[in-house]
Amino acid sequence: MHYCLCMETPSPPQPWRTSFRECADWDAPIVPGTIPGLLDRAAAEHGDRPAIEFRDHRIGLRTLRDTADRVAAGLLAAGIGAGQSVALYLPNTPWHPLAFFGAARTGARLVHLSALDAPRELVHKLRDSGARTLITTNLPGLLPAALALLEQGAVDRVLVGEDGAWPPSPALPVPWSDRVLPVPLADPPAAWPAVAPDDICLLQYTGGTTGLPKGAMLSHGNLTAAVDIYRNWRLGSLVDPAIEQRVITVLPLFHIYALTVVLLSGIARGWELLLRLRFDVATTLLDITQRHATYFPGVPTMWIALANHPDAQHADFSGLRECGSGGAPMPFEVEQRVTRLIGRQLRGGWGMTETSPAGTRIPEGADPAPGLIGIPLPGIEMMVVDRTDPSRRLPPGESGELAIRGPNVFHGYWNRPEETRAAFHDGWFLTGDIGVMDERGLFRLLDRKKNMIISGGFNVYPTMIESAIYEHPAVAEVIVIGVPDAYRGEAAKAFVTLKPGAAALTLDALQEFLADKLGRHEIPTALELRDSLPRSPAGKLLAQALRDEEAARAATR
């Protein structure tokens, strides 16, 4: 199921190519391939290197490829292949890459499920994708939910990978049956099914801002192009093949950021992934100081937790060669604190599930600034267009909607042709993000189009308000949303968690603190202190959950 999204409009100016000439191999080829091809090339080039370290067990790259091939052969023997969807209900264990690469070899479409998905959301993704086979592992947080899905008919069979293969394990016993089976392993066939770059590899569900999640159709070519795009960016020491790279892998592999930036890029380059079931500050500090991690890609909430942890103040971060943040905007004040803590610039950027998620990176030579997301990665084109007329490209300095195109941009939304057509204009994907580009080609993100608050006729961007609130020394985390206001139409409301030991924060005190940082129309008119804030499986703070709460509260008044 493909949609034709022809690229007909000419390329707009790309000032970043001359302003930041040394940041990337701008004209290096990007050749979309297939996931099986990526794995085969990596095994041929780096086969003797360790690919994964999990619970002190090391798995070499060639062993990973050979075992994934046995999984693929077993799935083919079980009748799974091209034209079928297979759901992966897996956390950060070796079973994820084994199942991902194995199922991709068969030509099947993969569907990522999250251990934090609500049961109703799991059922929706399974029904929408058509996946009738679910692959999971026998960890306490997963197996019971997988069996419940089987019991209610959401899937026909559950294939279970034994977590006990990598002890010590808290694995549960499995009630084996003709519908609950081990992940099948078999000897590879004489020839594998043909898989082409344009074939859909992954239905990655997204769209958490409104409505039910929708499946972004990412092809083999989209994902492998994104790997090439990241490779062509000159990311410090990570371009040096002589340095053994060890990557802290706490980002969930079922999230597009970790899948492409960590797993696929790491396998392609022969990096060792320090695979962890979940993020824990103490373990992360050990990975940095004792296991000699060289690269830590995280999300803002991880960096906030690290910066607030007392043991981090005395840790030696000198072994870290690169640090990145993605998945959500990094509050400027937090970014500055983390930079001081680790002794190097925290490199951020921007991307979306629909872009696999390659988009922008912040180049060296760009002064840190609130909302800065950097320049487009090599092979990607971006521009700012009018929010109501996407055919009108805006000049530097004018804010509008970010539009993007490139070989990494998805094929459309699964079974949603109308939403797909609405998301594109003349081959450009309309991101829904509001931003601005300067004369050098640097982009700043102002906010999501759907998140924008209209207060007294002015456009108010929650992200900018959140950045200012993060400057308050008592604030740990914050989400700002728009709420109805009798005078302004809408006004900003802040939901805040405080740092341990911080004194209570009042609305008056917050407004006074923000008086010289924001316009009067931007200052929140309401404040709610909370012990915690809602977040996605990848750790991203979820403003939509709070908007839903406010709407429900208003409906009962």
Read off φ and ψ for residue 393, nearest 5 degrees.
Answer: -80, 135
**Residue 375 has what pLDDT?**
97
Same domain, 421 and 282: yes
Same domain, 248 and 275: yes
Is the pLDDT at 238 greater than 80, yes or no? no
Span 7-22, pLDDT tens digits: 456 789 999 999 999 9
Same domain, 438 and 492: no
- H helix intervals, 232-274: 256-257, 265-269
Is the pLDDT at 214 greater than 70, yes or no? yes
- Residue 204 tokens, joined: 């990655």
Within a domain: residue 274? yes
Same domain, 267 and 172: no
Among residues 195, 223, 256, which one ends one of the domains? 195
Does an H or E element contain 325, and which?
Answer: strand 322-325
- Which residues are CB-neighbours of 264 under 8 A, at least 6 positions away? 35, 38, 223, 224, 226, 227
Same domain, 115 and 244: no
CATH number at residue 415: 3.40.50.12780
Among residues 448, 463, 480, which one ends one of the domains? 448
From 358, 368, 545, select the one nearest 467 (Cα to Cα): 368
Which of the residue ranges 120-134, 196-210, 301-315, 364-378 would you say has the lowest mean pLDDT?
196-210
DSSP string of 47-71? TTSEEEEETTEEEEHHHHHHHHHHH
Same domain, 536 and 431: no
Same domain, 486 and 441: no
**Residue 1 has what pLDDT?**
40
Span 382-413, pLDDT tens digits: 999 999 899 999 999 999 999 999 999 999 99
**Residue 516 has what pLDDT?**
84
Within a domain: residue 246? yes
Within a domain: residue 474? yes
Categorize the per-residue pLDDT at 539 as very low, low, confident or very high, splitting at 50, 70 and 90. confident
CATH number at residue 184: 3.40.50.980
Within a domain: residue 8? no
Span 251-275, pLDDT tens digits: 999 999 999 999 999 999 999 999 9
Give the number of other Cβ atoms within 10 Å of residue 188's Cβ: 14
Is the pLDDT at 100 greater than 80, yes or no? yes
**Residue 182 has what pLDDT?**
98
Is the pLDDT at 2 greater than 70, yes or no? no
- In whole angstroms, give the CA distance from residue 431 to residue 404: 7
Categorize the per-residue pLDDT at 468 as very low, low, confident or very high, splitting at 50, 70 and 90. confident
* Better-scored residue on pLDDT, 303 or 326: 303
Categorize the per-residue pLDDT at 490 as very low, low, confident or very high, splitting at 50, 70 and 90. confident
* Better-scored residue on pLDDT, 456 or 553: 553
Contact status, residue 143 vs residue 119, Cβ threshold 8 Å: no
Q: Considering the entire predicted model, what is its pTM?
A: 0.84
Among residues 163, 195, 227, which one ends one of the domains? 195
**How deeply is 306 buried, as exposed, middle or buried, from its count of CB atoms within 10 A (0-12, 13-18, 19+)?**
buried
Contact status, residue 495 vs residue 479, Cβ threshold 8 Å: yes
Same domain, 458 and 424: no
- In whole angstroms, give the CA distance from residue 339 to residue 327: 18
Within a domain: residue 224? yes
Within a domain: residue 9? no
Same domain, 544 and 437: no
CATH number at residue 543: 3.30.300.30
Which of the residue ranges 72-86, 517-531, 543-557 would you say has the lowest mean pLDDT?
543-557
- Which residues are CB-neighbours of 113 under 8 A, at least 6 positions away? 87, 88, 89, 122, 125, 126, 134, 254
Within a domain: residue 346? yes
What's the whole-number mean pLDDT along residues 36-56? 96
Same domain, 134 and 190: yes
The mean pLDDT value of the chain amounts to 91
- Residue 244 tokens, joined: 């053994």
Q: Supply the DSSP symbol for 330.
A: P
Please tell me whether residue 345 adopts helix, strand or coil conformation.
coil
Give the range of the structural domain holding residue 492, as residue numbers without chain letter: 452-555
The proportion of the chain whose per-residue pLDDT surpasses 90, expressed as a percent, equals 71
**Residue 511 has what pLDDT?**
96
Please tell me whether residue 119 adopts helix, strand or coil conformation.
helix
**Residue 164 has what pLDDT?**
97
What's the whole-number mean pLDDT along residues 536-555? 84
**Residue 236 has what pLDDT?**
58
Same domain, 275 and 362: yes
Within a domain: residue 486? yes
Is the pLDDT at 237 greater than 70, yes or no? no
Report how many domains make up the chain: 3
Please tell me whether residue 80 adopts helix, strand or coil conformation.
coil
**Residue 521 has what pLDDT?**
82
Same domain, 153 and 272: no
Span 503-514, pLDDT tens digits: 999 999 999 999
What's the whole-number mean pLDDT along residues 284-290? 95
